[in-house]
Structure 1
Amino acid sequence: MPATLTDNALAVLRARYLARENGVVVETPDQLFRRVADHIAAAETRFGASAVEVAEVARTFDRMMSSLEFLPNSPTLMNAGRPLGQLAACFVVPVEDSTTGVFEAVRWAAEIQKTGGGTGFSFSRLRPAGDLVASTGGTASGPVSLMQVFDVATEAIKQGGTRRGANMGMLRVDHPDVLEFIAIKLDPTRMSNFNLSVAVTDAFMTAVRDGTTYDLVNPRTGNVTAKLDARRVLDAIANAAWAVGDPGMVFIDRINQLQPTPDLGPIEATNPCVTGDTRIWVEDRGLVPIAELVGTTPLVATWDGEHVVFRRATRVVSTGVKPILRLLTVEGLALRLTADHLLTTETGDTPAGELRPGTRLRGNGEWYTVRDLEAEGEAEVFDLTEPSTSHFFANGLLVHNCGEQPLLPFESCTLGSIDVGRFVAGSDFDWARLRGVIHEAVRFLDDVIEANRYPLPEIERATKATRKIGLGIMGWADALAALHVAYDSPEAIALADRMAGFLEDESLAASRALAERRGPFPTWEGSRWQDASGDTRPLRNATTTTIAPTGTISIIAGCASGIEPLYALAYRRNVLDGAELTEVNPAFQRVAAERGFASDRLFAQVAEHGGVRGNADVPEEIQRWFPTAHEVDVGTHVRMQAAFQRHVHAAVSKTINLAQSATPLDVKAAYQLAYELGCKGITVYRDGSREGQVLVTGARTARTSTSLHCPECASVLVVQSSCRLCRHCGWSVCG
């Protein structure tokens, strides 16, 4: 049965989602849900469904959405069944270390953002500021400077006025420019269209624990350029996040360890590559230069341990201009490739840069001997991925697959969320009904991959190679309140673990059922799923779960966002480019009326202060049921995220909301606890630390800044929000 939409939901739908003609809304919410359902269900004809079967699937999809039990990500609601047709929420765009690579990435991002998609970038491959540019004899401007090109482009696009430009930028903690990256948003005029995260390694966190230094590494050369005190850098990250909400942290090694398709390359690899004239042995064609194979999926020669066999390459792409080496063998073979490209030797796969004269290399049925290896400037290089054996023959030598980055370059995320608050039945969840919706939602999201009109052909190929989907939940805080379980109680953490485990198990069961009918994702061979213990039946999707932010779709559903606690029981929400909507939590309003303590004075107090804990007008039992984000301690925030992360294949989007009175030590403690508990990343936000924050309670205070010099190295400090940070040595302090 269709659910009743709130006034705020209707306002958001009219502003962003409902179809218009000449600026006038010409679609109702019911028509929107039917439009989306019909368009997504029509994809099932590709799997042999009849018209009758498609109509039945469309009715199921329509019922899930109109009842507000499940909603897909915003681009699907906006664009399904309309000319634009782009349905995915987010995309990873590779940024290569060359002028061509950078501005190609800007172009790709523009194509994506104008369709309503968000973009993620890692800038870790870019050489540091001041580094050599061989082609001009000049010096590089560095990733922080180039990032601003992406920010300006997003500002110009603003995604057609329907969905604000959203970018995630990431830099490795061992990049020489990491301190400049940490400090960039201390200047409030910079990078307003980006959220930032530092990609933190296990080696860095070990150095923090041990109180030692760690290496900064030039990504162009692989050479160590300097050392920094790890604890000082962690302090700098925490202080900047305390001041302005950025950067967050991503635990990059953990993500690599858990990613489902390791044969497609490690996340944030340096992209080992070969030059365009490298000849690839292609079935029925012979030796073909790899540059001529770009955009195709040829059958290429590889080695199965005993014989030459031909296997399908899932992607061949150009990855820009990079420094290369020229490898010569005693027998006369030559290969030009990057220093990190792996070749098969008698002792295993070895980076080209580590080969020595006399090293024996695997060829086609015979061995070759290295004679010489020398630098040969820079050249355009290319990637090939063969997922079955992870190897292919290049100029007669057996080499390992080229690497890729996450989602893996050009992958997109197809997301949807279930409002679990609508599945509360008495003192528990209706698990059977929830199981049915999970299975239908997985089917819906897999159909979206087929129905999507991709902004770039590279994105379509990469997305369909792994068919990753991300089914999550929203309304978690509403569900806990309805169950009379306090968000900040051990019972809530245990229930989170149960809910996340149920979502994972059932979404995998649904994906296996789809694989039986439609086939597994093309890169199933060699995936972690194939090698896992337990049920190893093929999956349709390389990932099935995530926890998305659900900011706008939670307004449509009339529920709390994602797995967040209630931000406040009454507040002003900034949406629609500066407009404000006033919201009172309907569950609290209903309980207050039922218990007889509702009053205009109480609601005015709640609107000013956000919560009711400590309010003598509210029964203690009710105070316990309705904690707000700033009343939940840091440890509980992180433990809730970790409980879900244990069962979620992708990332868990959760903001560790802190009161304005929180200290930088609170931020640092949250980062360290998140790492210890197995989270993949963390975002910490202190109330009032960023202008234009989405949810607002209470008043605002002004900031002050003063020009100072670093007491350690005398460099000029960045000063903002009572924080001072040195971009040279990492010294920082707040307060």
Structure 2
Amino acid sequence: MTLLALKAIQFEQTENADNVPLQSASKDIWESKYRLKDRHGVAVDQTLDDSLIRVARALAGVERTEVRDYWFKRFSWALANGAVPAGRIIANVGAAQHKAATSTVNCTVSGTVSDSMGAILGKNYEAGLTLKAGCGIGYEFSTLRPKGAFVHGTGAKTPGPLSFMDIFDSTCAVVTSAGGSRGAQMATLDIGHPDVMEFIRAKREDGRLRHFNLSLLITDKFMQAVKADTEWPLAFPLTYKESLRDNIDLADPQRVLWREWPVTQGYIANDEGLVACRISTAIRARELWDSIMNSTYDFAEPGFILIDKVNEQNNNWFCETIRATNSCGEQPLPAYGNCLLGSINLTRFVSRPFTDCARFDWERYREVIGVFTRMLDNVADISGLPLEQQRQEMARKRRHGMGYLGLGSAITMLTMKYGDAQSIAFTDQVSRELALAGWRTGLELAKEKGAAPVLDETFIVTAEMLRKRPEMKADGYKTGNRVAGRILHARYSRYMQKIAAIDPQLIEDLAEYGCRFTHHSSIAPTGTISLSVANNASNGIEPSFAHHYSRNIIRQGRKTKEKVDVYSYELLAYRKLINPLALQFAQGPQQQLPDYFICAEDIHPQQHVDIQSAAQTWIDSAISKTANVPTDYPYEQFKDIYRYAYEQGLKGCTTFRFNPEAFQGVLVKEQDLSATTYQFTLADGSVVELKGNEEVEYDGELHTAANLFDALKEGYYGKF
């Protein structure tokens, strides 16, 4: 009998890999980020289980007194069966006695950054308070005048949005977020803004905007211009004073472009709500496209947000317009919008992994979704958001974003290959079941506790609403009619119409009773949560980066990032359940493991997009997804990834290519480090060359050559 067959028999007693011991890197992340300590640094949580029990007890405390014990047991069960609250929840829920000024919310977006010095500095102040509370934050900077524009109040010219972004970046750099995380920000800029080229190239300057992720707001019109190889106008809104001063004919299409804009006050707008924008220049769309692709190839930024698709698919299409996302992109949000997160560890539902009998426990998965949905809804009542506008937005819409982690690991444990047809079908089913179980729970919670207030509000039907949703007109609605938010949400949301195709009665019930929340799902990157609580199951929707690699982490008191060895969860599970020698295979030829043990670089970029597309159908917010490509991946093939993502109807796309000349990533493979040579120029002018994985003593500490080079180049040496 083979070893594999023998292990398959043993699975009758131990069907899954839940008892794989936590690796040291996982324990370390819990200790540094999520373990509750008092103000003297003395541990309150003795174990990871203590941290989760603290969360369950605090969230059960939101329930009515007579049912708190029941829900504490149910919440504890869900946490023991794969429910993983986001980092802010684990770190801060039930911790008010020790850190009262912290939030349980990961994702926020700034209010609109208006084009005045007072407004800009006011938003920077709000950002500081938000970051201090432990929240990431996103902003749109398209609303700021382009570099060189005349400012009437001062008689001077503006430095442009990028210079103001430097102010926000500096604020983030000095504000340490609660729970041990450093601040995270997202900046978006419209593809038609006159400073778009400066935005695209911003990360080419060493050390600049390193506390920002950058994403472009890409429109359908721009993509059509790229396809047709036509000119693309760059423009910014006009005031009446400017149009008179410069004698601008508003009907001249060579000088004025009428378009949707996030701000109309103070600008020239027509009856359709379009704003007159002065065209400063025009550029070939393909030239602009190639600039984006070149920068993304070299620096992994800017990202790609298909903003038309985001707004078309938004459940709250009738009451908000989205122009920004949270720091990792999985939550497109309106002004002062916010969202709390949680993920379900898919590896916990795989029984008899790595065998022909491997299966996924769909019944238990659906049950965990239902209980976890209630848990996350309770988090909304103890959000701890620092700004009144944020708290009002949370109370009105009660957004949360449930997703999953460990998709890549679970696919491997089920003996499938990430990106093939079978894994795509599995991703579709996992996401669909998440949606259906979540909305059904939302309906029951609305009956029990009441719907999100926005869904009980009444809205006046406008011509714009009828234009966006012509089916409303077919149903007899006219301009001026009044309609309940729950009807607009359930029947006329493009996303909810997909749910209606599967469960039409659910949608009818939601239209009658409303839902406890307006948004239920998103898939976050789950980096440190995956590594800690899930023992390095693959991040979010991703495959495992590699089965053995290094993670560069910030360690308080160190002068550079520290390199820590980590192993994929599926490799640890395979070693425990199938072959105790498997760990050594991670550093040897891949064929020594089963052929389904693939990782990020083994997957064609198109397959990354296909997996994301399968999930996005059923995810009502967005997905943080990175298509990893090898360093030597051909540029001509690389730049087609984004066009393919657009054609597949995604809301956004991000790629990563290891480029040692540009920056050092958080996750690094040993073979990349050993193949990269770094040059250091000493004080006497001599040059020392070291391989990236070599250790070097410098300034009293040992560093890897790669991390030392990166810290010196980026200017963060000694600042941790």
Range into which the TM-score falls when normalised by the shorter chain: 0.7 to 0.9
Give the Cα–Cα distance (whole angstroms) in 1 for the partners of residues 406 and 309 of structure 2.
28
Post-superposition CA distance 1:173-200 (Å, at most 9, x none): 0001000000000112101111100110
- The answer for the alignment partner of 1:479 in structure 2 is 410
CA contact (8 A) 1:497 1:643 kept: yes
How far apart are residue 406 of structure 1 and its match?
5.2
> Is 1:266 matched up with 2:321?
yes
How far apart are residue 98 of structure 1 and its match?
1.1
CA change 1:496–1:136 in 2 (3 A) is same
Q: How does 1:117-128 map to 2 (within 5 A)?
A: 117-128=135-146
How far apart are residue 4 of structure 1 and its match?
5.3
Q: How does 1:179-198 map to 2 (within 5 A)?
A: 179-198=197-216
How far apart are residue 201 of structure 1 and its match?
0.6
How far apart are residue 87 of structure 1 and its match?
0.2
CA change 1:421–1:660 in 2 (3 A) is same
CA contact (8 A) 1:73 1:416 kept: yes
How far apart are residue 467 of structure 1 and its match?
1.1
CA contact (8 A) 2:631 2:658 kept: yes
Q: How does 1:666-685 map to 2 (within 5 A)?
A: 666-685=637-656
CA contact (8 A) 2:81 2:368 kept: no
Give the Cα–Cα distance (whole angstroms) in 1 for the partners of residues 301 and 78 of structure 2.
36
CA change 1:431–1:602 in 2 (3 A) is closer
> Is 1:134 matched up with 2:152?
yes
> Is 1:548 matched up with 2:524?
yes
CA contact (8 A) 1:39 1:451 kept: no
- The answer for the alignment partner of 1:38 in structure 2 is 57
* SS of 2:339 mapped into structure 1: strand
Give the Cα–Cα distance (whole angstroms) in 1 for the partners of residues 452 and 339 of structure 2.
15
> Is 1:240 matched up with 2:295?
yes
Which of the residues 417, 421, 430 maps onto 2:343?
A: 417
* SS of 1:683 mapped into structure 2: strand
- The answer for the alignment partner of 1:79 in structure 2 is 92
CA contact (8 A) 1:634 1:666 kept: no
CA contact (8 A) 1:170 1:198 kept: yes
Q: How does 1:480-629 map to 2 (within 5 A)?
A: 480-524=411-455, 525-526=484-485, 527-532=488-493, 533=497, 534=504, 535-536=507-508, 537=510, 538-556=514-532, 557-558=534-535, 559-577=537-555, 578-591=561-574, 598=581, 602-605=585-588, 612-613=589-590, 615=591, 618=592, 622-623=594-595, 625-629=596-600
> Is 1:16 matched up with 2:2?
no
> Is 1:641 matched up with 2:612?
yes
Give the Cα–Cα distance (whole angstroms) in 2 for the partners of residues 15 and 597 of structure 1.
30
Give the Cα–Cα distance (whole angstroms) in 2 for the partners of residues 474 and 268 of structure 1.
27
Give the Cα–Cα distance (whole angstroms) in 1 for the partners of residues 377 and 20 of structure 2.
25
- The answer for the alignment partner of 2:252 in structure 1 is none
* SS of 1:136 mapped into structure 2: coil
Which of the residues 2, 21, 24 maps onto 1:7?
A: 24
Q: Which moved more, 1:516-525 or 1:468-477?
A: 516-525
Give the Cα–Cα distance (whole angstroms) in 2 for the partners of residues 474 and 597 of structure 1.
25
How far apart are residue 484 of structure 1 and its match?
0.6
Give the Cα–Cα distance (whole angstroms) in 2 for the partners of residues 464 and 143 of structure 1.
32
CA change 1:91–1:597 in 2 (3 A) is closer
How far apart are residue 604 of structure 1 and its match?
3.4
- The answer for the alignment partner of 1:428 in structure 2 is 359
- The answer for the alignment partner of 1:696 in structure 2 is 668
Q: How does 1:21-420 map to 2 (within 5 A)?
A: 21=38, 22-28=40-46, 29-44=48-63, 49-50=64-65, 52-65=66-79, 67=80, 69-82=82-95, 83-94=100-111, 95-160=113-178, 162-221=180-239, 222-268=277-323, 407-420=333-346
1 or 2, which has the higher helix percentage? 2
Give the Cα–Cα distance (whole angstroms) in 2 for the partners of residues 79 and 596 of structure 1.
39
CA change 1:92–1:522 in 2 (3 A) is same
CA contact (8 A) 2:20 2:572 kept: no
How far apart are residue 265 of structure 1 and its match?
3.0
CA contact (8 A) 1:241 1:667 kept: no
How far apart are residue 13 of structure 1 and its match?
1.3
CA contact (8 A) 2:59 2:378 kept: yes
How far apart are residue 107 of structure 1 and its match?
0.8
Q: Which amino acid aligns with 1:545?
A: S
* SS of 1:158 mapped into structure 2: coil
Q: Which moved more, 1:207-216 or 1:174-183?
A: 207-216
Give the Cα–Cα distance (whole angstroms) in 1 for the partners of residues 366 and 440 of structure 2.
10
CA contact (8 A) 1:168 1:196 kept: yes
CA contact (8 A) 2:88 2:179 kept: no
Give the Cα–Cα distance (whole angstroms) in 1 for the partners of residues 576 and 179 of structure 2.
40
Post-superposition CA distance 1:110-169 (Å, at most 9, x none): 111111110111111111111121212221111111101010000011325711110011
CA change 1:206–1:422 in 2 (3 A) is same
How far apart are residue 684 of structure 1 and its match?
0.7
* SS of 2:373 mapped into structure 1: helix
CA contact (8 A) 1:475 1:563 kept: yes
* SS of 1:113 mapped into structure 2: helix
Unaligned ranges ≥5, structure 1: 270-404, 606-611, 705-735
How far apart are residue 40 of structure 1 and its match?
1.6
1 or 2, which has the higher strand percentage? 1
CA change 1:476–1:582 in 2 (3 A) is same
Give the Cα–Cα distance (whole angstroms) in 1 for the partners of residues 585 and 435 of structure 2.
41
CA contact (8 A) 1:255 1:267 kept: yes
CA contact (8 A) 2:574 2:582 kept: no
Post-superposition CA distance 1:395-438 (Å, at most 9, x none): xxxxxxxxxx9511111111000001111234331111011100
How far apart are residue 592 of structure 1 and its match?
5.6
* SS of 1:509 mapped into structure 2: helix
How far apart are residue 469 of structure 1 and its match?
0.8
* SS of 2:524 mapped into structure 1: coil
Give the Cα–Cα distance (whole angstroms) in 2 for the partners of residues 626 and 114 of structure 1.
41
TM-score by length of 2: 0.73
How far apart are residue 219 of structure 1 and its match?
3.6
CA contact (8 A) 2:92 2:179 kept: no
CA contact (8 A) 1:2 1:63 kept: no
* SS of 1:20 mapped into structure 2: coil
Across the aligned residues of Structure 1 and Structure 2, the Cα RMSD in angstroms comes to 2.2
* SS of 2:404 mapped into structure 1: strand
Q: Which amino acid aligns with 1:503?
A: L
Q: Percent identity?
A: 30
Give the Cα–Cα distance (whole angstroms) in 2 for the partners of residues 601 and 651 of structure 1.
37
CA change 1:108–1:667 in 2 (3 A) is farther
Q: Which amino acid aligns with 1:33?
A: L
How far apart are residue 600 of structure 1 and its match?
7.2
CA contact (8 A) 1:417 1:471 kept: yes
